């Protein structure tokens, strides 16, 4: 697989120009509980669009996906909305991810320390705010899957 795919290039362009993002919020919100919808609405438009694409990819590959897996796909990056996570912080932490410092998830800091915490611990931040244990569990493991649906969510996420 090439280092820069069309999808990743598109995501980079939309990251720079978020007004180009068009998440299907109506579809996403119809899948979520009221509390989950509140988390979804707090996400940046770029993350919402990405999460919808991941959820749709999950359903495309596994049409029998249970509702909790689809909801986890729609919320897997919701932890990034815990504090402002600016574009330059996203780029900086992504480029230097191999050298990420070891930081505890809490207390959440400001500045670059907080940006690193968001990058590293966003699955934890989202899972801590999701009431359904099945959804929270999948969100928590989306970077390091241990279950079958966690692996499937991870694979769908990797496409984007």
> How many domains does the chain contain in total?
1
CA distances in angstroms from 39 to 12, 94, 120, 146, listed in the order given: 24, 23, 19, 24
Long-range contacts from 112-120, C-beta under 8 angstroms, 24+ separation: 114/83, 115/85, 115/86, 115/89, 115/90, 118/79, 118/80, 118/82, 118/83, 118/85, 118/89, 118/93, 119/90, 119/93, 119/94
The enclosing domain of 104 has a CATH number of 1.10.3210
For 20, which DSSP code? Answer: G
Burial 120-133 (b: 16+ CB within 10 A, else e): bbbbbbbbebbebe
Give me the domain span that covers residue 119.
Answer: 6-158
What integer pLDDT is reported at residue 4 of this predicted model? 58
Domain assignment present for residue 71? The answer is: yes
What integer pLDDT is reported at residue 87 of this predicted model? 86
pTM of the model: 0.91
What integer pLDDT is reported at residue 3 of this predicted model? 53
> In 10 A of CB 89, how many CB atoms?
18
What integer pLDDT is reported at residue 46 of this predicted model? 92
pLDDT digits (tens, 9 = 90+) for 68-99: 999 999 999 999 999 988 889 988 898 898 99
Under-70 pLDDT residues of the chain? 1-5
Domain assignment present for residue 79? The answer is: yes
Domain assignment present for residue 1? The answer is: no
């Amino acid at each position: 697989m090439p280092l820069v795919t069309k999808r990743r290039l598109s995501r980079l362009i939309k990251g720079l120009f978020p007004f180009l993002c068009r998440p299907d919020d109506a579809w996403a919100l119809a899948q979520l509980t009221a509390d989950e919808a509140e988390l979804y609405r707090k996400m940046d438009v770029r993350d919402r669009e990405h999460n919808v694409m991941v959820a749709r990819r999950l359903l495309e590959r596994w049409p029998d996906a249970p509702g909790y897996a689809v909801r986890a796909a729609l919320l897997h990056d919701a932890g990034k909305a815990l504090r402002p996570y600016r574009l330059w912080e996203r780029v900086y932490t992504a480029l230097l991810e191999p050298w990420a410092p070891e930081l505890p998830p809490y207390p959440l800091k400001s500045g670059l320390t907080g940006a690193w915490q968001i990058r590293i611990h966003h699955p934890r931040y989202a899972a801590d705010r999701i009431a359904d244990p099945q959804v929270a569990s999948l969100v928590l493991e989306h970077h390091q899957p241990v279950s079958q649906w966690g692996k499937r969510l991870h694979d769908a996420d990797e496409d984007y």
